[in-house]
């Protein structure tokens, strides 16, 4: 039975690879016979790759990179390690991944893995603080700092933990955190954690680091362009005025259009446009709309975020917003944890599961990747549907779960869960583009199934 399932999954993956290969040929305007000729292979091989019946040879990929404007990674697809829509890591598996990290010659952290997925943007860790501090001073010499890291980080605190972080101006701060508190920090923010003296047991954090948009192809492109040129993409977003001025100047340069021409078309005085671009004044909504029209962009492309947030956001549990869901029948109690408006598709919650009707509907579904950790002391039942099949698993304390976007599911029982929802690469501008293409064409965009034209003709 197991070997049959493996064969089925290999076939599915081969078909995905073949569909991706056909998509590349279509983008390059190559028919299978063109590809066969240029790659010096038989046409039957190319057609076999497209149908998924023949594995894509590395030699073909290497030859394609030499003669076509493509990269090797374009031919490789993301593997799906959540074939039922859900992936679970048991607490026993997590314990086996334990490793002690030393700093300054002393045990500082115990790390353990929790559930992760090749599909999801997060890299979550269970981290116990082995360092105890005598006081709550930010410059305590007992704590050992890191240099910050590339990933965004959401952290949930369990126990008595001090969170140390460095502000943008270089000053050090300490936040006194307790069970249920949470925080978010931007990439490359130096920080560290320690257990407070007098705590009954070591402090514990669930640190969920995650990438947002500057991952994969974006990071690869920046690397190829060079760090010197790539850093020019980072505009001045230090204030609303500077954000608008930077965006207008950037898009104006993309169009190779001068201030005089913009003034002529918008009837906004030249000096006013120069003042806007220099950040001296903030344009009105109508002025932004006129300038956007000249630059042939949407108004939103020239607008700043609604607010400028700190690089460190601290959320104390006793001051958090809470509500019941669904509103007409309490099944879950939601408590909002640390979130940032700069990451609109990142949502974190503590959820009290308080409903145990085994026959009830699958009442949860959203278009985000989900990380779930059972932080309570009771078992929780996870029920879900995927590809017309029904599944049920018991999530024990210390177990962690990944759920794909748009999977219908529910939680039943009486317990407490930590949930982080992340958008990955599809939401935002990618979602807008897919929406513009339309649902009927999304399937082809994902799984190309036909050549871009019919050689026999099509009227």
Q: Are 71 and 378 in contact (CB under 8 A)?
A: no
Q: Percent of the chain scored above 70 by pLDDT?
A: 93
Q: Percent of the chain scored above 90 by pLDDT?
A: 63
pLDDT at 453 over 80: no
pLDDT tens digits, 329-369: 889 999 999 998 888 888 999 999 998 886 678 999 999 99
pLDDT at 49 over 60: yes
pLDDT tens digits, 362-420: 999 999 999 999 999 999 999 999 999 999 999 999 999 999 999 999 999 999 999 99
Going by DSSP bridges, is the β-strand pair 191-196/132-133 parallel, antiparallel, or unpaired? Answer: parallel
pLDDT at 8 over 70: no
- CA distances in angstroms from 5 to 2, 10, 87, 341, 407, listed in the order given: 5, 9, 17, 43, 21
Q: Are 279 and 242 in contact (CB under 8 A)?
A: yes
pLDDT at 151 over 90: no
DSSP bridge partners of 172: 166
Q: In the structure encoding, which two tokens stand for residue 28, read together?
A: 């390059």
pLDDT tens digits, 152-170: 999 999 999 999 999 988 9
Which residues have a Cβ under 8 Å from the Cβ of 402 and sit 6 or more positions away? 82, 86, 87, 88, 115, 116, 117, 119, 120, 369, 370, 371, 372
Phi-psi region of 406 (alpha: psi -120 to 50; beta: other; left: phi over 0): left
Query: Which CATH number applies to 316-422: 3.20.20.20, 2.60.120.10, 3.40.50.450, 3.40.1350.10?
Result: 2.60.120.10
* Residue ranges of the chain assigned to CATH 2.60.120.10: 316-422
pLDDT of residue 425: 73
pLDDT tens digits, 231-259: 787 788 878 888 899 899 988 888 889 99
Q: Are 205 and 156 in contact (CB under 8 A)?
A: yes
Question: What is the distance between the alpha carbons of residues 419 and 229, in angstroms, rounded to a whole number?
Answer: 38
Q: In the structure encoding, which two tokens stand for residue 181, read together?
A: 């508190």
Q: Binning pLDDT at 50, 70 and 90, where does residue 5 land?
A: very low
Q: Binning pLDDT at 50, 70 and 90, where does residue 434 land?
A: confident
pLDDT tens digits, 61-95: 999 999 999 999 889 887 889 989 999 999 999 99
pLDDT tens digits, 128-140: 999 999 999 999 9
What is the four-CA torsion angle of 385, 361, 117, 61, rounded to 10 degrees? Answer: 40
Q: Is 72 exposed, middle or buried (0-12, 13-18, 19+ CB in 10 A)?
A: exposed
pLDDT at 121 over 80: yes
φ/ψ of residue 372, rounded to 5: -130, 135
Which residues have a Cβ under 8 Å from the Cβ of 117 and sit 6 or more positions away? 81, 82, 87, 369, 402
CATH superfamily of 2-77: lambda repressor-like DNA-binding domains (1.10.260.40)
pLDDT of residue 427: 67
pTM: 0.83
| Four-residue CA torsion sign, 197, 202, 208, 214 | positive
**Tell me, which fold does domain 217-302 have in CATH?**
434 Repressor (Amino-terminal Domain) (1.10.260)
23: Cα within 13 Å, side-chain hemisphere? 16
Q: Average model confidence (pLDDT) for the chain?
A: 89
Distance from the first to the final alpha carbon of the chain: 48
* Residue ranges of the chain assigned to CATH 1.10.260.40: 2-77, 217-302
With H, G, I as helix, E, B as strand and everything else as coil, classify residue 130. coil
pLDDT of residue 3: 40
């Amino acid at each position: 039975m197991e070997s049959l399932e493996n064969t089925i999954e290999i076939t599915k993956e081969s078909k995905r690879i073949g569909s991706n290969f056909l998509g590349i040929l279509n983008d390059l305007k190559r028919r299978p016979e063109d590809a066969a000729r240029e790659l010096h292979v038989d046409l039957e091989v190319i057609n076999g790759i497209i149908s998924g019946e023949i594995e894509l040879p590395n030699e073909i990929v290497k030859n394609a990179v030499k003669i076509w404007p493509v990269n090797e990674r374009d031919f490789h697809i993301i593997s799906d390690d959540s074939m039922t829509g859900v992936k679970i890591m048991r607490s026993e598996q997590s314990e086996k991944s334990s490793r002690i990290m030393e700093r300054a010659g002393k045990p500082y952290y115990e790390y353990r893995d929790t559930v992760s997925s090749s599909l999801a943007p997060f890299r979550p860790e269970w981290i116990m603080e082995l360092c105890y501090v005598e006081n709550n001073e930010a410059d305590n010499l007992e704590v050992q700092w890191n240099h910050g890291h590339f990933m965004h980080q959401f952290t949930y605190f369990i126990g008595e933990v001090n969170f140390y972080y460095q502000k943008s101006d270089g000053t050090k701060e300490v936040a006194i955190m307790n069970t249920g508190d949470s925080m978010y920090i931007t990439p490359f923010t130096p920080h560290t954690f320690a257990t407070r003296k007098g705590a009954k047991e070591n402090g514990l954090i669930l640190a969920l680091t995650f990438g947002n948009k500057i991952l994969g192809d974006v990071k690869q492109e920046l690397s190829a362009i060079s760090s010197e040129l790539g850093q020019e993409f980072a505009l001045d977003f230090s204030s609303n005025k500077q954000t608008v001025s930077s965006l207008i100047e950037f898009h104006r340069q993309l169009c190779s259009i001068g201030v005089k021409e913009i003034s002529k078309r918008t009837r906004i005085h030249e000096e006013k446009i120069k003042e806007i671009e220099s950040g001296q004044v903030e344009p009105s909504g109508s002025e932004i709309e006129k300038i956007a029209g000249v630059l042939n962009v949407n108004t939103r492309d020239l607008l700043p975020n609604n607010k400028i947030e700190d690089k460190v956001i601290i959320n104390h549990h006793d001051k958090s917003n809470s509500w019941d869901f669904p509103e007409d029948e309490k099944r879950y109690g939601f408590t909002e944890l640390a979130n940032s408006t700069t990451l609109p598709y990142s949502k974190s919650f503590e959820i009290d599961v308080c409903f145990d009707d085994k026959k009830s509907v699958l009442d949860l579904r959203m278009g985000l990747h989900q990380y779930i950790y059972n932080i309570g002391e009771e078992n929780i039942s996870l029920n879900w549907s995927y590809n017309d099949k029904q599944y049920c698993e018991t999530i024990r304390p210390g177990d962690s779960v990944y759920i794909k976007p748009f999977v219908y599911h529910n939680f039943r029982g009486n317990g407490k869960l930590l949930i982080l929802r992340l958008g990955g690469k599809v939401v935002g501008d990618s979602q807008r583009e897919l929406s513009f293409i339309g649902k009927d064409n999304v399937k082809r965009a994902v799984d190309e199934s036909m050549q871009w034209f019919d050689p026999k003709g099509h009227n």
